[in-house]
Amino acid sequence: MAAARRLYVYGVSAVSLLVLAVGLTQLLTVALGQLADALGASILSGDVTASLDQLSLAVALVIVGLPIWVFHWWLAERSVAGAGVDVTAERRSTIRAVHFLDVELVALVAWLVASIWLVAWILRVIVGVEEELWGSRPTDWIAIIAVAFGVWIYHTGLRARDLRIEQLDGAGAWLPRLYRHAGAFIGLAVAGFGAADAISIMLGIIVGRPVFEGGTDWWQWPLADALARVLIGSTVVGLHWLDAERTIRDAARLGEDERATRVRRTYFGAVLVTAAAAVVAAVASSIDSLATWVLGVSTSDDLARLAEDVAGPPLAVLPWLVLAVWHVRTSVREGQAFGAATARSALRVAGHLLSLVGLAFGAAGLARMVGLLLEATIGRPSLAGELLWRLDLAQGFAFAVTGAVLWAWHWSGVLRDWTRGEEERATTASRSYLFLAVGGGLLAAVPSAALILYRVLNVVLATIPGARLGDEIATPLGVVLVAALVAAYHGRFLLRDLRTARVAAPAAATTGEGASITVVLRGPAGADVGAVLDGLRRRLPAGFSIESGAPTLTPPGGPP
Amino acid sequence: MAGRIAAGSVEATPGTAGSSRSILVIAAIVIGLVVLAVIVVLAASRPPATYPAGSPEATIQGYLAAGEQGDPETAYAFFSRSVRNAMTIDAYRRAWADHAWEREQERRVVLEETELHDDARATIHLRIDVFFGGDLFGSSRYTYERSIGLVRENGSWRIDEPLVGLEPIGYY
């Protein structure tokens, strides 16, 4: 019953808020546009009728949306005011948490995008770039920012209040955390790729990159856009990071330390994987340029251009390198607060993620190379002389080498760590890495193998000439060979670990029934000890349990 | 635990009055914005400006008025001699007929800048707002910009590029 009521209240609130926000945005769009025209433009043709029509629609949306939202949101807020079991359940409810997550994310993306457009436009106006409006006007972006930012700040403030009133758990706790870190990641991605683009453009200016169109001022438009992304992305990541820092400071009040949560660890991992992928792609692009030049198939003889192509991509991703190092160090430092083992775990996860990124890029590059070599061997030998084939080979080589170096660097560290003992091999990070490597290899090999069989059957059934078989199967054969190699290499470790675990399990079973510790849980007068205990039970790792008797009253003045 | 608020502590939780007040404040702000926006739109609305006869702006305005009145002959008369030599009135009528969709649009043409290159040449920079029947999720206005070259002939400014409406002929 309560869930049905919540679905209704939050569902109607969300829809009416959307109607209200769209109406308000249109209202501000019309008013600001009209005001801007009144201040500095002359109308040649057309009258006010169109604006009044727009205004009527906007007012209609607001008049419909506002009372419905006010009433339903008042119902929602009334449910979390005061105290009691129902109020606690409401604040902890998954539906309320999902509502906040949705509203905050949609509003964030809206004001983020509109702010980038507006700031880029302002930067272009400052440097005097002449550009044509296409689709919307700057006043439209101001309207979107005003409404979306208002919605965002109101809901973010309310959720922060919820978190500090009640110790939330389950979805009520992790969905707001997910939003905080998703917001930080979105801002980081926008700022990181914006910074990379800005560096690349500035290098192009220094080198004097030739352009097809746009004259010597080609850089002004994209540089303004890149700088706007850096500025707005940094603001977004800063706001969300500060919010996360506040929750860490308030750990005692929130009942959970943000630093120990899976969502935060996943955030660190996502940043590291994104940064590693960006760096590998950039270094591979650099090696590709060098390889095509060495092979004599470069599309440009200009040495300055070659220098930009070789040095530019690695320089452009320097911000990502800095972000990766900073995030790894932060995760290790945060881990140290919980002991040396947690800090080591953070480093272990980073090492495995980097191995995985290197493996993915290296395997993809190697598969491409093998496929191309097979194509020129069992397909058409004349291919080896073709420019496109050589360019593809250089690209495959670049990705294979870059990925392999990253993988070998971190994988050798993992193997060194494994020599410390079986417990290091049995960690979640190691197991996950091995399963992902084997699973990824098989997932790549199976459809490619099916494709090879399909081509062979085509030849057998004479739907394609046999002479073309080499051409047709070369690429999937390359994928199958490399994927099988990856799966077999990692599968060997995985099988050994699983066998060791099977042998160890019965041995552990015979040594006793597991470890246990007696804990006494005390709370203030009137506290729901059972609810707190249920909360603790929900947070236990797999295989753990809490046994309890009936609650007892503690005499005033504390326990004896 | 230090700083911990006990579950269900009335002191630490906001009352209904606090939440209701903030919702009412938001409602008041929204209503205030609606009133302000309506006042701004009505107060800032102006009819099309009037320009001295023979000016570049008056030429464009006259050309647009001919379009709105469905008068291709008058619109054709606003083109320069070189444009009229390259495009006969019959060819222009055919392009006019093909381009009926633009005349059916509800739009506003705003003068952004007039650039006088010398006594004989000018460029008019326009912003065109095209309005659509709005719906809940669709943008109801589309804005783009156009620059039109003019040339002075016999003391009057003439449009020096083949257009139908505000689009170059041959584009469609």
Q: Say yes or no for a CB contact (<8 Å) between A44 and B26.
A: no
The CATH number that applies at residue B82 is 3.10.450.50
In a domain, B25, yes or no: no
CB-based contact (8 Å) between B68 and chain A? yes
Report yes or no on B85 lying in a domain. Answer: yes
* Averages of pLDDT over each 10 residues, chain A, 560 residues: 89 96 93 85 75 86 96 93 84 92 96 96 84 79 96 93 80 89 96 95 78 68 93 96 88 79 93 97 93 78 79 93 95 89 90 96 96 86 77 92 96 89 84 95 95 89 74 91 96 88 60 65 72 77 71 51
Report yes or no: A527 at the B interface, CB cutoff 8 Å: yes
Q: Facing residues of B128 across strands?
A: B109, B144
Q: Which of residues 5-24 of B touch A (CB under 8 A)?
A: 5-10, 12-16, 18-20, 23-24
Chain A residues 149-168 with a CB less than 8 Å from chain B: 154, 161, 164-167
* In contact, A302 and A412? CB cutoff 8 Å: no
Longest dimension (CA), chain B: 91
Q: Is A174 in contact with A100 (CB distance < 8 Å)?
A: no
Percent of chain B residues topping a pLDDT of 90? 32
pLDDT at A50: 72
Which SS3 state, helix, strand or coil, does residue A421 take? coil
Backbone φ and ψ for A131, nearest 5 degrees, come out as: -140, 155
- A504 closest CA partner among A390, A423, A420, A405: A423
Establish if B119 belongs to a structural domain.
yes
Which residues partner with A241 through β-bridges?
Answer: none
Residue A445 · residue A480 · CB < 8 Å = yes
Please give the structure tokens belonging to residue A8: 């209704």
3-state SS record for chain B: CCCCCCCCCCCCCCCHHHHHHHHHHHHHHHHHHHHHHHHHHHHHCCCCCCCCCCCHHHHHHHHHHHHHCCCHHHHHCCECHHHHHHCCHHHHHHHHHHCHHHHHCEEEEEEEEEEECCCCEEEEEEEEEEECCCCCCCCCEEEEEEEEEEEEECCEEEECCCEECCEECCCC
Beta strands A134-135 and B141-153, pairing class? antiparallel
| A46/B144 Cβ within 8 A | no
Q: How far is B38 from chain A (nearest CA, A)?
A: 7
Q: What is the rounded CA–CA span in Å between residue A22 and residue A14?
A: 12
Question: Which residues on neighbouring strands pair with residue B79, listed in sequence order?
Answer: B159
ipTM of this predicted complex? 0.78
Q: Is any Cβ of chain A less than 8 angstroms from the Cβ of B132?
A: no
Residue in chain A nearest B25 by alpha carbon: A70
Q: Do A22 and B127 touch (CB under 8 A)?
A: no
Residues of chain B with C-beta less than 8 angstroms from the C-beta of A151: none
What DSSP element (H or E) covers A45? Answer: strand A42-45
Asked if B14 and A531 come within 8 Å (Cβ–Cβ), the reply is no
CB-closest option in B37, B47, B48 to A28:
B37
Query: B107 forms bridges with which residues in the sheet?
Result: B130
Give φ, ψ of B115 to 5 degrees.
-110, 110
Residues A316 and A196: beta-carbon distance below 8 Å: yes
Please report residues of A whose CB lies closer than 8 A to that of B8.
83-85, 87-88, 526-528
CA distance B9 to A167: 12
Torsion over CA: A9, A10, A15, A17 (sign): positive
Whole-number pLDDT of residue B1: 34
Is B120 inside a domain boundary? yes
Nearest to A24 by CA among B136, B10, B69: B136
Chain A within 8 Å of B32 (Cβ-Cβ)?
no
The total of structural domains in chain B comes to: 1
HSE-CB of A91 using CA atoms within 13 angstroms:
25
Q: Which of A19, A45, A163 to mutate to test the interface with B (most CBs of B within 10 A)?
A: A45
Give the residue from B1, B22, B23, B159 with the most A CB atoms within 10 Å of its CB, the best one to mutate.
B23
The tally of CA atoms less than 13 A away on the side-chain side of residue A379 is 20
pLDDT, position B21: 87
Residue B69 sits in which domain range?
A: 56-162
Q: Nearest Cα to A147, choosing from A113, A111, A101, A122?
A: A111
Pairing state between β B163-164 and B156-159: unpaired
Whether B148 is covered by a domain: the verdict is yes
The answer to whether the Cβ–Cβ distance between A81 and B15 falls below 8 Å is: yes
What average pLDDT values come out for chain B (172 residues) when binned by 10 residues?
37 58 93 93 82 89 90 92 90 87 82 88 90 65 89 91 84 40
Per residue in B105-126, is it b (16+ CB within 10 Å) or e — as a string? eebbbbbeebeeeeeeebebbb
B138 touches chain A (CB under 8 A): no
For A110, other C-beta atoms within 10 Å of its C-beta total 19
| pLDDT value for A505 | 58
* pLDDT number for residue A558: 47
Amino acid letter for position B17: A
Contact criterion met (CB < 8 Å) for A133 and B144: yes
DSSP, collapsed to helix, strand or coil, labels residue A415 as helix
**Beta strand pairing call for A42-45 and A134-135:** unpaired
Q: Identify from A16, A24, A32, A42 which residue to disrupt to test chain B contact, counting B C-beta atoms within 10 A and taking the largest count.
A: A42
Q: Give CA–CA dist A544/A516, Å, rounded.
A: 9
Tally of residues, chain A: 560
Residue A16 in contact with residue A65, Cβ under 8 Å?
yes
pTM score:
0.80
Contact between B14 and A161 (Cβ < 8 Å): yes
Instruction: Give the Cα separation of A172 and A178 in Å (integer).
Output: 11
What pLDDT sits at residue A404? 97
Contact assignment for A165 to B13 by CB distance below 8 Å = yes
DSSP alpha helix (H) spans, A426-525: 428-460, 469-510
Q: Which of A9, A16, A27, A44 to mutate to test the interface with B (most CBs of B within 10 A)?
A: A44
Angle at A125 between CA A236 and CA B160, to 5 degrees: 135
Collapse the DSSP code of A42 into the 3-class scheme (helix H, G, I; strand E, B; otherwise coil) and give the result.
strand
Q: Is residue B61 within 8 Å of A45, Cβ to Cβ?
A: yes
